[in-house]
Every structure is written in C-alpha cells, then in structure tokens.
Amino acid sequence: MGIRQSARRIFSRLTASKSAGAQSTTPPPDELLVAGLRAGDPGAFESLLAKYEARMYRLALGITRNSADAEEVCQDVFLMVLKSIGEFEGKSSLGTWIYRIATNAALMKIRGKARSVELPWDEVLPRFSQEGSHLTPVPDWSKDPEAALLQTELRTVLGQALEELPGEYRAVVLLRDVEGLPTDEAANALGLTVPALKARLHRGRLFLRGRLGEYAEKRGRLTPKGIAE
C-alpha cells in the first residue's frame, strides 16, 4: 500500500510539474505511465486514454470496418490493459503491447464474420512477360492538381479495397501505413517475423494499388501523362 501511494504521489507530482512548466499536454514517459497505472493513479488512467484511445479506435475501426465493433474493441482493450498492467514486462514498448492487444481483439471480433472468398489477386497484381517486363502499359493516375474529384473518389475506392483485404493483411497495412509503426514493432504486435510481415505488407499494398488502378482506368480519365478531364 505504501508503494502504491508513493508511486501515485510521484506520478502526480511529475505530471503536474510537467504540465505547469511547459504548459503542454506532453504525455508522461511509458515507464512513469506504467508505474502510475499499477498504483491505480487516476492521472495515469487519463494519460493512458489521452495517449492511446484515438489510435486504438482508428485501428479497431480500420480492422473491423464497423463503428459499434470498434467501440467494443476499445472497451475490451483498455479494460485488459488496466487489469493486466501488472503483467506487462517491458520487453516491448507499452505502445507495441497495447497495439498487440488491440489487433488481436479486433481480429477476434471479425473472425467468423469474414467471408471465406479467395481474393482475386491475379486481377490486381501486375503481370509480366517471361523476360520480366510489364505486359501491359502502366497508366499514371497519381496526384494531379486538376484531379481533386478523382482523389476523393479514390479515397472511397481505397476504403472499399481495404475492406476487401483479409483482416490479417488489413491489420498489417494499418499498423505500418496508417499508424506508422516501425516494421519490427508491427511484426511484434502481430506476432509475425519481420520477413513475414514485409511479405504481407507488400502484397496488401499491391492489392490496394491494383484496385485503385482498376477504378481510375474504368473511369476512362487516363492519358499517357496522367488524368485528363
């Protein structure tokens, strides 16, 4: 009890002096946050949520593609974090640990709901000749100053393509390309080796690119130099 009170006092003092001095909402370092959570400090509880709730919601929504499911995932994740903070060994960063819990919870949520349809990889992955050259022309539909409308549409198409990806691929793309986790941390969060994560990420990215290319091409706005009205 003495230790808990002491940790709570230290956490409160440090976080209070930080915010008073810098007048910022700089979150406490992970070690301090963990100590505060273990001590049951209300300030640590708030700091944890302030630092991670938006990220976990974004990740959960990205994986489940459903706001009600994402809310339940967030509840499960933070309840588990608060209840098992005593078991956190610090082998990975606190953030990676929480991302791992969140990814597992979100994937569990969609398990059974996911369609068992095989993805049409061949339709969207690039094709090459025997010599290894592109078999078909590669239109450039990338950013064009006059193509704001197409960009908006492409964002929608990308959302649909993300939904089409199996959860395991979607989670990899979200952790790396949306959350910006380094490769080794994303691999750790997903329980994958780095080569396995890289392979899955590359295939997922190629799939998304392929779907966007299909849409841009169907829209018939392509010229060899880019997108024409």
Partner 1 sequence: MITCREMVDLLSDYVDGHLEPTLARQLEAHLRGCTECTAFLRTFKETLALAKEAACEEMPEELKVRLRDFLRNNLQRGRSSPTT
Residues that bind partner 1 in the complex, under the rule CB under 8 A: 37, 40-42, 44-45, 49, 53-54, 57-58, 61-62, 71, 74-75, 78-79, 82-83, 126, 128, 131-134, 137-143, 151, 154-156, 158-159, 162, 173-174, 177-178, 183, 198, 201-202, 205-206, 208-209, 212-213
Give the C-alpha separation, 60 to 102, whole Å. 7
Which two three-digit tokens encode residue 169?
């691929």
Tell me how far, at minimum, the Cβ of 17 lies from partner 1, in Å: 20
Residue placing its CB nearer to partner 1 in the complex, 13 or 155: 155
Torsions phi, psi for 111 (to 5 deg): -60, 130
Residue placing its CB nearer to partner 1 in the complex, 140 or 168: 140
Give the C-alpha separation, 143 to 223, whole Å. 13
Cα distances (angstroms) measured from residue 25 to each of 39, 51, 95, 123, 184 = 21, 10, 18, 48, 28
Judged by DSSP in three states, 226 sits in strand
Tell me how far, at minimum, the Cβ of 138 lies from partner 1, in Å: 4
Question: CA angle 52-197-212, nearest 5°?
Answer: 85
Residue placing its CB nearer to partner 1 in the complex, 78 or 99: 78
Residue placing its CB nearer to partner 1 in the complex, 22 or 68: 68
Tell me how far, at minimum, the Cβ of 91 lies from partner 1, in Å: 24
